[in-house]
Structure 1
């Protein structure tokens, strides 16, 4: 299943807050053609690690270093979507394909299936 989301710079905040983490190398941003089924542009943003097998356990913010995800254009927020991939119900993406373009953050999992 395609893991598409309109998060533009969703992981940029993570990377700015955690540049001291030695395993992080850089961000990779891929443009995804959403076929015009949702407004705006759709991007997939990846945190690229230095070595295969490097592990990213969490992305977070705190009072002294809040995590902010911003864009110059609005994010697409589907009514059945959520902030995390665990909020995306796999069945719902089969009945409403626009849910695939909801804005959310994940560490690997694309929907709620086996995502604890």
Structure 2
């Protein structure tokens, strides 16, 4: 993993995220990595990405925090009214929304293919 549960806990202001076990946060991080890797088209393993650039680290942490909130709150899952798969967001029964963080601007410098960059940019509009 490129980030640790401690990184996520240090960043978040949400008590529910701070109180998640390492094991659960590791699962959230795996989901975050999969999402970020899809956006950029690589896994940050090249030498030019060592150490992990700060913008990429923040994007991963923000995404892991999102998954921790979604995966840790049963009321969000039980109370959702609709779900959009493309840019992934829930609309809750009370009308509030929990959306994936927009990390495109943090990751734009790391997107390798022009095609992938255009696809991600179009999806965020």
Q: TM-score, normalised by structure 1?
A: 0.32
Q: TM-score, normalised by structure 2?
A: 0.30
Richer in helix (by share): 2
Q: Which has the higher contact order (CA 8 A, sep 6+)?
A: 1
Richer in strand (by share): 1
